Amino acid sequence: MKNELHKATFAGGCFWCMVKPFAEYDGIESIKSGYMGGTVENPTYDQVKTGETGHTEVVEIIFQPAVFPYEKLLELYWQQVDPTDDDGQFQDRGSNYRAMIFYHNDEQKILAEQSKKVLIDSGRFTKPVITPIIPAEIFYIAEEYHQDFYKKNSNEYEADRAQSGRDEFIQDHWK
């Protein structure tokens, strides 16, 4: 089943910063930026960024588990977020930027919960690890200009990321 494809969905703040860390691995077939949760069908970026629709910015990753298992995606995910922050990520504040793991089946739920427990038990963070693990909902793809933003608008991406505080946090907690 080497070519079998699965789906993973993660929220970790601005979706621009959540694509690149996953993009360069064998077994990752595609990554799309979009929105999940919320009450508005087919929301726009302008609607979601108000924080009033209930959506969260997410990345939907299509992957080959035989090549890049879900457990490795989870390891990489935790290293991109502050799992102790329940009101956004880094410079991006509000519920639309919170960190969340959306599971697509029972196996993903179990593996995500196990990985969260390992993280908690590691003592890496002094504050509680509170990232929710919840069922996936309808994925709404973001506007085209958000897709692969780090490639299409590399200067803007690098400037935004540099001022976000994300890289310093990752360096302090994971390197």
pLDDT one-digit tens code per residue, 35-57: 999 999 999 999 999 999 999 99
pLDDT at 1 over 70: no
Q: Where are the alpha helices (DSSP H) in the chain?
A: 16-23, 45-48, 70-78, 106-122, 149-152, 154-164, 166-174
Percentage of the chain exceeding pLDDT 90: 94
| Catalytic status, residue 17 | no
Residue 3: pLDDT over 90: no
| Active-site choice (14, 18, 31, 48) | 14
**Phi and psi, residue 100, nearest 5°:** -155, 150
